[in-house]
């Protein structure tokens, strides 16, 4: 960890580039703390302010995170999903090179409550297929889904739900999801969600409600998802109409 005091490159920029390289090499993976500013200043032979300048740029970029009373660490890697076009979750993750793993797939039937009855425009108490899935990568689960399906879809509950859901609907039931209406908000995890996502109760999670329609604009699936707040980032592309 050396910098060139004779170089025309500003000292804070050299420090920024050096720390960036160490982070990219995995030097500070696993929650390992970066050296304190005082230590880095002595090591580089510069002022603390110069060190602070180099680190601050990396914090602004989201590469590092500073925690009061703890120190500076590499920011957790997050998955960014875009809302400018509609995709199934499997498609979203595949596009980003994330290999999905099913930690739990549970299929039951339950009577429609008032919300589901109003959503699907069916009678309250109508039996619905309910699908719960806990999904993640090879390391840990990061999203918990619950889906209910309109009776017209024709699901029996005996299907192989370990395959991509919309592939199943299209190939086996000739039901073609066409669009979705979505709602996103930040909430805190209750005991059940926290247990599934391996986080503490009260931790922040992203809540996503999705109502999926077929080509005839008929509702076919009501889905709610709970995403780990430290794993997911949502971005939206908004274009101004002329």
Cα angle 134, 155, 219; round to 5:
85
Across the chain, mean pLDDT equals 84
Last residue of a domain, one of 74, 91, 111: 74
Are 148 and 227 within one domain? yes
**52 exposed, middle or buried (CB, 10 Å; 0-12, 13-18, 19+)?**
middle
- Between the CA of residue 58 and those of 4, 15, 27, 31, 69, what are the distances in Å? 20, 10, 15, 16, 19
Q: What is the pLDDT of residues 15-69, one digit of tens each?
A: 999 998 888 888 887 778 889 989 999 989 999 999 999 888 888 777 888 887 7
Are 49 and 85 within one domain? no
Band of the pLDDT at 109, cuts 50, 70, 90?
very high
Q: Tokens at residue 203, please?
A: 């931790």
Helix-, strand-, coil-residue percentages of the chain, each rounded to 5: 30, 35, 40
Is the per-residue pLDDT at 83 higher than 80? no
- Flag whether 127 is in a domain: yes
Are 99 and 198 within one domain? yes
Most distant CA pair in the chain, distance? 78
- Flag whether 4 is in a domain: no
- Flag whether 241 is in a domain: no
Whichever domain contains 84, its CATH number is 3.40.1410.10
Are 115 and 133 within one domain? yes
Whichever domain contains 32, its CATH number is 1.10.10.10
Number of domains into which the chain is organized: 2
Expressed as residue numbers, the domain containing 147 is 79-235
CA-nearest of 106, 105, 104, 128 to 115 is 128
Q: What is the pLDDT of residues 130-189, one digit of tens each?
A: 999 999 888 889 899 999 999 999 999 999 998 888 889 999 999 998 888 888 888 999
Query: Do 75 and 65 meet the contact criterion of CB atoms below 8 Å apart?
Result: yes
Last residue of a domain, one of 74, 90, 117: 74
Are 179 and 222 within one domain? yes
Are 103 and 182 within one domain? yes
Exposure string (b/e) for 53-73, b if CB count within 10 Å is 16 or more? Answer: bbbebbeeeebbeeeeeeebb
Query: How many helices (H) does the chain have, and how many strands (E)?
Result: 7, 10
């Amino acid at each position: 960890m050396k910098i060139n005091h004779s170089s025309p490159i500003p000292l804070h920029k050299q420090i920024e580039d050096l720390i960036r390289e160490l982070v990219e090499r995995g030097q500070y993976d696993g929650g390992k703390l970066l050296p304190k500013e005082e230590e880095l200043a002595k090591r580089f032979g510069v002022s603390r302010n110069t060190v602070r300048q180099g680190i601050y740029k990396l914090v602004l970029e989201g590469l590092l995170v500073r925690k009061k009373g703890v120190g500076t660490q590499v920011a957790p890697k997050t998955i960014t999903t875009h809302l400018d076009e509609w995709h199934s979750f499997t498609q979203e993750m595949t596009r980003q090179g994330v290999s999905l793993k099913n930690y739990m797939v549970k299929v039951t039937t339950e009577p429609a409550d008032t919300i589901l009855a109003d959503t699907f425009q069916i009678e309250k108490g109508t039996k619905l297929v309910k699908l719960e899935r806990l999904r993640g990568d090879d390391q840990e689960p990061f999203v918990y889904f619950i889906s209910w399906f309109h009776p017209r879809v024709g699901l029996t509950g005996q299907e192989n739900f370990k395959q991509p859901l919309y592939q199943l609907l299209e190939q086996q039931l000739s039901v073609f999801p066409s669009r979705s209406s979505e709602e996103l908000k930040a909430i805190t995890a209750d005991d059940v969600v926290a247990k599934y996502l391996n986080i503490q109760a009260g931790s922040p999670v992203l809540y996503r409600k999705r109502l999926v329609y077929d080509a005839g604009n008929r509702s076919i699936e009501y889905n709610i998802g709970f995403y780990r707040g430290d794993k997911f980032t949502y971005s939206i592309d908004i274009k101004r109409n002329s």
